Structure 1
């Protein structure tokens, strides 16, 4: 029988200290590459750590028609032709953005701000922030 406190596969009492390197525990493959840094935000359009494009939105529900009214450094202003009740404006926002960005409705989801005018919409389709910003700015010019 072994003594108490000795034995155990990953015990520090064993002779093999290959798992202990420089004061930190290393198990499995070493992670020599640096963690991915998110791309710098492109105004209101950014890339989250998982690689999805996100858009900061300032929603204006209750408008006469859907329209991208402004693109600033902080957010994209979007007028929504739906009342701000029971999630109608949120659903209409996602529908409208999917049409503007030429994506499937299921690829445009509300990430944050369900009960706020300041929202974050996440795009699940593979697209670039530059493409998204370009399409949004074209909509502002159409007004």
Structure 2
């Protein structure tokens, strides 16, 4: 039994170190992230867009750009992931990238979503979204 207690103590120490390291990594990741309102860049170089989705609209469109997020109306019902699929397809066409370069990071069942875009800079994404919202 003495060996098991020593093993448990060693494991407990390892777990506490792991928790400390993961919290340090999380903090450093936040420092690397550059934010410009609803559009930011993560440490891997992808552009993150905070989306305020409005499913069930008559047509797809960018409704507004605010500090809370980019308002996007989607012409698909919010059932079985149809609106998420349509959102990815619409954003890819607006931004001029492949669908595979756009991915839903958070919010698959929420109206508040985070979408990652690869292949463009944050300023390019912002410019293209603003052009689309003014139409």
Q: CA deviation at 1:127?
A: 1.1
> What is the TM-score of this pair, normalised by structure 2?
0.76
Separation in structure 1 between the aligned mates of residue 106 and residue 30 of structure 2, nearest angstrom: 23
Q: CA deviation at 1:36?
A: 9.6
Separation in structure 2 between the aligned mates of residue 55 and residue 139 of structure 1, nearest angstrom: 15
> What is the TM-score of this pair, normalised by structure 1?
0.72
Structure 2 residues not aligned, in runs of 5+: 1-27
Asked whether the equivalents of residues 32 and 42 of structure 2 are also in contact (C-alpha less than 8 Å), the reply is yes
Which of 94, 99, 112 does residue 105 from structure 1 map onto?
99
1:69 and 2:63 equivalent? yes
> SS in structure 1 opposite 2:51?
strand
Asked whether the equivalents of residues 29 and 43 of structure 2 are also in contact (C-alpha less than 8 Å), the reply is no
1:94 and 2:64 equivalent? no
Displaced runs of 4+ in structure 1, greater than 3 A? 34-37
Q: Report the structure number with the largest CA radius of gyration.
A: 1
Asked whether the equivalents of residues 48 and 54 of structure 1 are also in contact (C-alpha less than 8 Å), the reply is yes
Alpha carbon RMSD of aligned pairs, Å? 1.7
1:116 and 2:110 equivalent? yes
